[in-house]
């Protein structure tokens, strides 16, 4: 094995020392640039005397406070609890109930029509209705109209009409 020259050993140690020194110097510069120490201030609240209320922060804090002044005005003028933007609120118009149908003098449906029979069919059930005024008989399915009455449902034992704004049952 070859023996190293003493000069190479010294240069190696010197290089290591310089690298560590440079690294420490970089850390010191970075800490001075980016890490700002907190200003030390004396409490402004005191129960002892009025003089204690007027204490002034140390010089570093005074400089920091001066730098903060333009922002302080801005912050004090804003409400931190306010919504940052206002959405346009659209209040829906109150729902107006449909007007009640105009009711004519109440006439009982069974005085005008007579349920003669019911044709029970799953696809097309029918009601056999006799018109007592004209004496005629008609076969009605759901949705058909006779006079002012509209047939709404056909059940096995009765039929239901929409008549003068309400549902009316007609029995055989």
- pLDDT reported for residue 103: 41
> How far is 133 from 159, CA to CA, in rounded Å?
20
Distance between CA atoms of residues 138 and 35, nearest Å:
98
CB atoms within 10 A of CB 104: 9
Q: What CATH code would you report for 109-170?
A: 2.30.30.830
Dist CA 161 CA 151 (whole Å): 4
Q: Is the dihedral of CA 145, 148, 152, 153 positive or negative?
A: negative
CB 129 within 8 A of CB 123: no
What per-residue confidence (pLDDT) applies to 143? 93
- Whole-angstrom CA distances from 11 to 18, 23, 24, 33, 63 are 10, 18, 20, 33, 47
pLDDT tens by residue, the chain, 172 residues = 566 677 888 888 999 999 999 999 998 888 877 776 665 655 555 455 444 444 555 556 666 667 777 777 777 777 777 766 666 667 777 777 766 544 444 468 878 888 999 998 888 899 999 988 888 899 999 999 988 889 999 998 999 999 888 888 888 8
Q: Is the pTM of this model over 0.85?
A: no
């Amino acid at each position: 094995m070859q023996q190293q020259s003493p000069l190479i050993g010294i240069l190696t140690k010197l290089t290591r020392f310089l690298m560590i020194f440079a690294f420490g110097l970089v850390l010191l510069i970075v800490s001075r640039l980016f890490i700002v120490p907190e200003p030390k201030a004396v409490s402004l609240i005191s129960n002892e005397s009025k003089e204690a209320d007027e204490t002034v922060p140390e010089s570093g804090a005074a400089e920091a406070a001066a730098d903060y002044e333009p922002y302080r005005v801005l912050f004090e003028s804003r409400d931190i609890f306010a919504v940052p933007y206002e959405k346009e609120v659209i209040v829906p118009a109150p729902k107006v109930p449909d007007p009640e149908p105009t009711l004519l003098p109440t006439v009982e449906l069974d005085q005008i029509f007579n349920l003669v029979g019911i044709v029970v069919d799953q696809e097309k059930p029918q009601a056999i209705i006799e018109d007592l005024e004209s004496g005629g008989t008609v076969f009605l399915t759901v949705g058909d109209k006779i006079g002012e009455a509209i047939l709404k449902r056909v059940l096995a034992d009765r039929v239901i009409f929409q008549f003068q704004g309400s549902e009316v049952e007609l029995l055989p």
